[in-house]
Structure 1
């Protein structure tokens, strides 16, 4: 049995120019108390500050627990770093913790692995978490779930999984992620959908296990304009619809695409991008089952944007 085959959990961590917080992130992983072997896989993307040297010091100190993947010569970008790092994860399960986030429950991995080991019909486990803002204020993010578990048919409409809390079965080890993901600024949501495409459910533990830093990173930049991030999500859905691996999910994927287009129409109107809203409305209405309802929805979103209702 090789050392890699004994790894139960691979934690993949992406980092770039995070010298102010990378040590806290790594320490929170090393503090995990488990009955199994885990390995931290760090994708360090040619940082211009001291991030790489900090990571190298940790790897030298904990060579059995840390695998460092430095970019040589140039920055390769977030999504390429995501791909090579997740591909280097050899454990039965994968957990995510970016270099600017950290875990606060030393039994996080043990709890999540115990659940998946006992429940083979589940593929992903998430938890509650805290949001950390720039003023150092912490806000609890506790989800009140309306159902005991979630499935592909739920996640295809909205990503309900905060990446810093997730642990999932290493499906990408047997079925490599599709290359179309490389077109996008993030890969977590399509990865979860890939994991669930042939079955498996999502469970949420009530524990608070992690801290997610707000107002920094790629997703924070995108969310400055909500229509931008929803446009990315719509394009992801279109690629999923074109991927033969998801062909058995065509009906629910088509429904989610129409739903996403409606969301975009509303967001464009809210952001005063009326031409974009109208153009998308015209392209979408003929694919709507309830055309009159969609017309009413469009008119309502316009009136609401100009505060007439």
Structure 2
């Protein structure tokens, strides 16, 4: 790689020119890349944006004779302080020329003074990105999938007999915010999280997140409001025949068997008449056990599956 006359531009061994991300690059790259393949791909492309120091991020674009054909970014998450997130995409006719690896090297040099000590990246199963990550020293640390649970997939619980009650709970409540924060931290021990009540409101429960409502499965066997055993937050404005997008979790103070039992009851109630779609990581063992059973029986399906690699 050699420096050109413009100090903001670098020439790669592949012959492409690299510069910082600029306004209009998203539209120019869309013409070359085409539409995103799925929701995950759309989310990852949204990481490509101007570099910043707060929050810390760097983003670069590679051009072929002035035409943007590739982009890459590295950024620090406000939730996961130990690893920087990396994403790169290269136009199909410029792949297998080492472009992404050269862009990664440039970004890593920029990150030398950042306190994060590792890198992570997400990719689709059996994708070119997966091969790239393996070839560049990344190791798989997590699998995540979007699962659609069909209506009536689970037997409805007898709430009165079991001392349970399904109640609406305000998305702005401190009780739910604290529970969501504790749950998030508990299921991300593989990538240490610093979720707080305030961040839970900002990132998962506030109006800007699209959260439209929440329910809590409570233990009311001893009277009173009862402790929350499991919860669900909906991001779908109205019930339709399409799956409702929900965040499902449980009280992390429960043991695995109790959590699985209550997740099973909550999912049965949520999907009694309409399909629901939820994200399931390998680290969410009680939820994964239930959804794996439903997938095996044909009562649920995987919408898409992704791997998280780290170095």
Tell me whether the two structures share a fold, i.e. TM-score over 0.5. Answer: no
Q: Which has the higher contact order (CA 8 A, sep 6+)?
A: 2
Greater Rg by CA: 2
Question: TM-score scaled to structure 1, two decimals?
Answer: 0.26
Question: TM-score scaled to structure 2, two decimals?
Answer: 0.26
Q: Which has the higher helix share?
A: 1
